[in-house]
Structure 1
Amino acid sequence: MTLLTSLPAPGSYRVTGTGHRPSAYAVSELANASVAAVGLAMADLIAALNLAARAPEVTVDQRLASLWFGASFHPDGWEMPALWDPIAGDYPCADGWIRLHTNLPHHRAAALSVLGCAEDREAVAAEVAHWDGDPLEQAVVAAGGVAAALRSRADWQAHPQGKAVAAEPLVDWIKPRRVVLRDRPEASLSRPLQGMRVLDLTRVLAGPVSTRTLAGFGADVLRIDPPGWDEPGVLQEISLGKYMAQLNLRSALDRERLKDLLAQADVLVHGYRPGALEALGLDLATRDAIAPNRIEVTLNAYGWTGPWAGRRGFDSLVQMSAGIAHAGQDWARSDRPTPLPVQALDHGTGYLMAAAVLSALAAAARGEEVAVARLSLARMAETLVALPKNLGGAQIHTADAADLGPHEDSGWGPARRLSPPLSLEGCAMCWRWPASPSGTYAPRWDAA
């Protein structure tokens, strides 16, 4: 198997379960394929590490894969915090629609500074109505915020960034080099990533999905957040199985601590925009010097080439930009943008990032060169748009009791987690630690 470049073909894995997410696009087909990509890459790694006599068969549960694209965490007897702040959402503007993403305080402040109004949804709506979409999007971005005007597929395909993204590979491998993997005698068929150290420098949502997936096969995932960090309604979903720690990277002492952690890591997964790691003194040459034998996978929102390569973004914004919410509006016969029923770009990209890690590990185990893998939400959008819809059966909306696994004593309260969507012969996904808030663990590899 060469390094991962695309989603697996139907028929290369076994599918159980039925149903589909109702959407203008092939959301459940993407769920099946991206989860299967992890399984097939894991089977290849198991073979490369000689953990089994042959590569194990891969099975994806179609219903569970579709559900994991939504929420896997289900509180037991208490309510989850709101996922969105009161200002975030879609607003009519003078020539269409725009989405403001204001969950983070500095993004909210940027949008309000441009609009010049109070932190009140009605006041924001009144001001947005005076703007055309493109100028307001540009003004919010220039102020350090995040926003996306609604575009059609034709508009996006004609846009310089849309053209750039369409020309990029789904998984862009750069800077190939030789990597010598650290011995992990504790690795086994049942826990093939046992003892592997994964340094997680990611935020909502694709990057954390990838590292949560690796933790499900035994990896020690150490996630580093800023002091006081929280993502209400999200950390419960993605902190499963991880050591959730914090460092202040504005501090020289904590930056050195991060370098020490990187030097001991087998895998680095990060979602920093171009230039951000360089600003921390961790450019690629420095990372190569500190951790020459690491596997590295990264992502951004809008792709790695083109005028928006450095633009902040999230799944919901990319759906607006790339024409997905516009196509959904037509499909639903609605008078407003209609996004996918789940954040499928995040989840699909996250599983493919995990598969890229496994693919690189397998290549290194065979003595082949590996490279840094780069993925983006916008490129995943192009893959989703091109994916044929072929699944029928009942519509999948919410989980039933039969979909849930055993009790999880999370750091917020009792809960149940969806049963895993992926299985391999002799190798089942499971997590050692329940979900926990950021800062629960110390920033070290023996945090437990």
Structure 2
Amino acid sequence: MGDSRQPLLGVSLRPFTAPGVCTRFGPLTWWGGPLNVEGLALSATHAFGSVLAGLMGTRHTISFDSARVAAWFGSFSHLRVDGEPLSAFAPLSGFFASSDGWVRTHANYPHHERALLRALDVEDGPSAAAAMRLMTSAQIEEAAQETGAIAVAVRQPGQVRSASGDWIEISEVGSARAFRPGDGAPLTGLRVLDLSRVIAGPSASRLLGALGADVLRIDPPHLPELTSHHLDTGFAKRTAVVDLADEGDRVRSLVDRADVVFLGYRLSSLERTGFGPEAIAERHPHVAVVSLDAWGEIPGWSGRRGFDSVVQAATGISHLYGTETDDGWRPGALPVQALDMATGLGMAAAALALAGRGGRAHLSLARTARFLIDGGAAPAAPEDVLLTLRDMESAYGLLTYAPVPISIDGVAVDYPAPPLPYGDGEPVWM
């Protein structure tokens, strides 16, 4: 992992064991539960830290501690704006009983809520819940697919499973010279174009921005990001609103001068606008193209819409976290958005490994879920960790936030800037 000459080739995400070139401090478990979520979090942080260490060389030391990793993985739940928490899920996002089991829906975005109501042929949330109780889980899933809504049946582990393979899939590596850090912040001079949304991709780009990269996120005008997600992942970057369909040449000029491009939209949508990973790699061979999707190579699922919570439901994680209540058994969820956060760290690691030389890497939430399930139970009883949070003034108010989990030469990395007003940036490189 520390050898930058063969970045991430053949790397797998294994339960955290030895620190290697990136040193860890603190306990191995703190959340508890049926799966080793802590091991996933530490392994993903270690993967990124090891690639960063290989990039910076032996004169620097990279370290992280359990408390900062725990805070980073739960960053959304810890975020406060003038002391007030943010709402994580809309009323129509969650677990709902069907006639033969349970489904998990995701309707945080207005267009997904409208699509779910159309799928169920109802007009409001209470009617939606009542309609789902009369339908089988399979019927709800099928209806959602037809309208572009997001609803999946809660399955047992093994019913939907990502194929075996590496956590980070490297399809090609360019032949140019790898990016080398200069003086100052280690990633100064690195240009990162972020064409992703929600959590995984934007959390990767904010991490690179914290290390000095010039990060520019582009969003479409017809699908604005939720303010809550922008506040969580908008640190250390600029955002601009550009329509890829109408202003593709403008964005292609940005890609031509970029070092890294993150892609987080469905492949079909990207290909329609000419921004699929293969098209970018062909036109801009110097660029490191790191793409993300929900379902990866799972037969029959590739290309579907998906989020961390629904991948948990489909892959059996929600079943493993189910509990008995006074009203009977109910599915559950991971203590944090671990699939998103771990995959984001993997995207950041792949970006550093390919930066300068170019190439393509791909990750999926389902593949991360497979590694989590295969990792089994936590190795020890949970221990308490003292979370470290920081404050920063912003245009939105005083933000209390979880800092970056990485330290360089004993100095904790922090964001150089808070989230700027959403979409107010210019689509140009600094």
TM-score by length of 1: 0.86
Letter in 1 for 2:231: Q
1:404 and 2:389 equivalent? yes
Q: Which residue of 2 aligns with 1:10?
A: 17
Larger displacement relative to structure 2 (308-317 or 106-115):
106-115
Q: Which residue of 2 aligns with 1:257?
A: 250
Q: Which residue of 2 aligns with 1:384?
A: 372
Q: Distance in 2 between matches of 1:55 and 1:279?
A: 46
**2:7–2:51 contact (8 Å) kept in structure 1:** no
1:27 and 2:37 equivalent? yes
Q: Distance in 1 between matches of 2:164 and 2:40?
A: 20
Structure 1 residue matching 2:194: 3-state secondary structure: strand
| Counterparts of residues 39-438 of structure 1 (less than 5 Å) | 39-47=49-57, 54=58, 56-71=60-75, 74-75=79-80, 77-120=82-125, 122-156=126-160, 162=161, 165-180=162-177, 187-188=182-183, 190-227=184-221, 229-251=224-246, 254-284=247-277, 286-329=279-322, 335-361=329-355, 364=357, 371-388=359-376, 389-395=378-384, 403-405=388-390, 407-425=391-409, 428-438=412-422
Question: Residue by residue, what CA displacement relative to the aligned partner does 1:266-293 show, whole Å, maximum 9, x if unpaired?
Answer: 1111112223222112345542354221
Structure 2 residue matching 1:381: 3-state secondary structure: helix
Question: Residue by residue, what CA displacement relative to the aligned partner does 1:243-282 show, whole Å, maximum 9, x if unpaired?
Answer: 111112232xx21111111111011111122232221123
Q: Distance in 1 between matches of 2:423 and 2:365?
A: 28
Identity %: 32
Question: Residue by residue, what CA displacement relative to the aligned partner does 1:9-34 show, whole Å, maximum 9, x if unpaired?
Answer: 52224222335112221111211111
Q: C-alpha displacement at 1:215, in angstroms?
A: 0.9
Q: Distance in 2 between matches of 1:242 and 1:211?
A: 8
Q: Distance in 2 between matches of 1:301 and 1:68?
A: 21
Q: Which residue of 2 aligns with 1:38?
A: 48
Q: Which residue of 2 aligns with 1:51?
A: none
The count of aligned residue pairs is 416
Question: Residue by residue, what CA displacement relative to the aligned partner does 1:86-109 show, whole Å, maximum 9, x if unpaired?
Answer: 221110001100011111222111
Compared with structure 1, are the counterparts of its residues 64 and 392 closer, same or farther at alpha carbon in structure 2 (3 Å cutoff)? Answer: farther
**After the TM superposition, which segments of 4 or more aligned residues of structure 1 sit over 6 Å from their partners?**
331-334
Q: Distance in 1 between matches of 2:136 and 2:384?
A: 37
**1:318–1:377 contact (8 Å) kept in structure 2:** yes
Q: Distance in 1 between matches of 2:23 and 2:234?
A: 28
**1:262–1:291 contact (8 Å) kept in structure 2:** yes
Q: Distance in 1 between matches of 2:279 and 2:190?
A: 22
Compared with structure 1, are the counterparts of its residues 272 and 180 closer, same or farther at alpha carbon in structure 2 (3 Å cutoff)? Answer: farther
Compared with structure 1, are the counterparts of its residues 40 and 176 closer, same or farther at alpha carbon in structure 2 (3 Å cutoff)? Answer: closer
**1:30–1:384 contact (8 Å) kept in structure 2:** yes
Letter in 2 for 1:324: I
Compared with structure 1, are the counterparts of its residues 211 and 39 closer, same or farther at alpha carbon in structure 2 (3 Å cutoff)? Answer: same
Q: Distance in 2 between matches of 1:129 and 1:385?
A: 29
Q: C-alpha displacement at 1:339, in angstroms?
A: 0.7
Q: Which residue, 439, 442, 445 being the options, matches 2:423?
A: 439
Q: Distance in 2 between matches of 1:30 and 1:197?
A: 28
Q: Distance in 2 between matches of 1:291 and 1:45?
A: 23
**1:43–1:424 contact (8 Å) kept in structure 2:** no
Q: C-alpha displacement at 1:384, in angstroms?
A: 0.7
Q: C-alpha displacement at 1:154, in angstroms?
A: 3.6
Q: Distance in 2 between matches of 1:62 and 1:152?
A: 30
**2:236–2:415 contact (8 Å) kept in structure 1:** yes
**2:113–2:149 contact (8 Å) kept in structure 1:** yes
**1:36–1:422 contact (8 Å) kept in structure 2:** no
Q: C-alpha displacement at 1:201, in angstroms?
A: 0.4
Q: Distance in 2 between matches of 1:197 and 1:105?
A: 32
Q: C-alpha displacement at 1:410, in angstroms?
A: 2.2
Q: Distance in 2 between matches of 1:437 and 1:22?
A: 37
Compared with structure 1, are the counterparts of its residues 372 and 285 closer, same or farther at alpha carbon in structure 2 (3 Å cutoff)? Answer: closer
Structure 2 residue matching 1:37: 3-state secondary structure: helix
Q: Distance in 1 between matches of 2:204 and 2:115?
A: 30
Question: Residue by residue, what CA displacement relative to the aligned partner does 1:53-101 show, whole Å, maximum 9, x if unpaired?
Answer: x253332210210121112653253424422222211100011000111
